[in-house]
Structure 1
């Protein structure tokens, strides 16, 4: 089976590419780094020729509201049009849990726009909404730091290891399209401020975290349900403390 991974050079994409190649599939790691640009459509038709499946895990290079929306809309339209021309049979895309609950965030509005394009296309699809990755907790802290103090919401999150997300996407890529959205999350819930403290302690980082119910999360004020999945998500097996231990040894 020929599978094209859009964003195939990134954290999730490279992991998926490696898994699928080990299983014997013909896999194209498509990204601007490899000459495939979904925004300009450069190299897109050639990459998709003969492909049965496209896995889209590309992310906007900017979280600024307008830039993110332009990226996901332009990239989505170009990619889906090229898939129709190539006869692609399954479009599998990675999105984020809570996108439809955080309209104050331009980035999440852009992800909703991407999902809308996928659902409106003629291509059978599967959308996977994942919770925040363990690997991004440092970025969440950095986005809210003022000097040596980060003010973070105590709202709950259920983060997941990027490797667990990649494993699910690789499995779904070789299966039939679901024509629906499913969610994946980690096995445990944490207040955001608490998991940030655990992360900093493990990194021997002396910066402080203060819980602030008014702290914004990429532009949005959170409730306890904002970042949590629904009633029956797929659960990744990796627990946060195990991931932290491995990250410290790496």
Structure 2
């Protein structure tokens, strides 16, 4: 089976290409640095020739509201059109748990627009909603930093290891289209401010984490369970403490 991975040189994409290859599939990494640009359409027809499945794990280079909306709308529309012309029979997209509950954020409005385009396209599809990755915990802290203070809401979060995300996306890609959303999450639930506080302390990061119920998350206000998956989510095995202990 030929599977084209859009964003195939990034964190998730590179892992996914490797895992699919290990299971005997022809996995092709597609990204601007391999000559495939979903914004302009460059290289799409060529890379999709003979493909059965396309997996989109790409991300916008800019999170500015207008830029990120343009990226997801344009790239997704170009991709879906090229897939239809190439005879692709399964479109898989990686998105985020809670996207529909985070619409105050320009980034998540753009992800919602991406999902709506996929659902309306007529292409058989599967959308994988993942919780936040272990690797992005520092990024959450950076976005929430003002001076030496990190302001975070005391809400629940159930983060997941990127390797487990790639495994789940790969499993979805080689399965039948679900024409809906599947959710994946890590095994443990934390309080957001506490997990960031622990992560910074383990790195000897001098910033102070302040618990603030009104602190935004990528521009959106959070309720206690906004970032949590539903009861039917697939639960990965890797624990945050085990992953953290392995980091340099």
Normalised TM-score (structure 2) = 0.98
Q: 1:99 touches 1:111 (CA, 8 Å); kept in 2?
A: yes
Q: 1:84 touches 1:122 (CA, 8 Å); kept in 2?
A: no
Report the aligned-residue RMSD.
0.8
SS in 1 for 2:199: helix
SS in 2 for 1:167: helix
Unaligned runs of 5+ in 1: none
SS in 1 for 2:47: helix
Aligned match of 1:97: 97
Aligned match of 1:241: 241
1:165 paired to 2:126: no
Aligned match of 1:118: 118
Q: Deviations over 1:51-101 (max 9, x none)?
A: 000000001111111111100000000000000000001101100011101
Aligned match of 1:204: 204
Taking the aligned partners of 1:226 and 1:92, their CA distance within structure 2 comes to 24
Moved more, 76-85 or 21-30: 21-30
Pairwise CA distance, 1:206:
2.0
Taking the aligned partners of 2:119 and 2:147, their CA distance within structure 1 comes to 43
Pairwise CA distance, 1:160:
0.6
1:62 paired to 2:80: no
SS in 2 for 1:182: strand
1:221 paired to 2:221: yes
Pairwise CA distance, 1:205:
1.4
Taking the aligned partners of 2:43 and 2:205, their CA distance within structure 1 comes to 43
SS in 2 for 1:216: coil
Unaligned runs of 5+ in 2: none
Aligned match of 1:20: 20
Moved more, 4-13 or 151-160: 151-160
SS in 1 for 2:62: coil
- Runs ≥4 in structure 1, deviation > 6 angstroms? none
SS in 1 for 2:247: helix
